[in-house]
Amino acid sequence: MPKHSTVRLDKAGARARLNEARLYLSAAELLDSGAAAENKVAGSNAILAGIAAADAICGLVLGERSAGDDHAQAISLLKKATHPSTKAANSLKRLLVQKTPVQYGADAISASEAADLIRWARDIVQEADAKDR
């Protein structure tokens, strides 16, 4: 059974995670040739960007981030930190579903799949940027 836990994340730590999210997203966006290996690396960086941005949002709003093995808890915590009309929680859910196959699987992903991952990460990074104003 997954362990539910959170850890404290102050504003400075949240801003550091947001900076990491921006860097991961920038790295993902650089890889646009559509080659199989680049698609996986771009997708993996997009997933890391989304996770870091979700941590940033939760830190900025709630003062904590998810630290457990349960992805559902991370999504639930992000829902608490965002308005229901935002795309952030749904985008995080989509990214987390793809985390294991993209980051650890042997199968290639297509350029359009990588583009989807980047788009979902961008949704969360943009929400984090809005929370940081």
How far is 26 from 43, CA to CA, in rounded Å?
Answer: 12
Structure token pair of residue 127: 């929400």
> For 67-87, how does the pLDDT look when each residue is reduced to its tens digit (9 = 90+)?
988 889 999 999 999 998 999
pLDDT digits (tens, 9 = 90+) for 13-52: 999 999 999 999 999 999 866 788 999 999 999 999 999 9
- Cα–Cα distance between 26 and 81 in angstroms, integer? 24
The CATH superfamily of 6-131 is: Nucleotidyltransferases  domain 2 (1.20.120.330)
In angstroms, the CA 128 to CA 109 distance is: 27
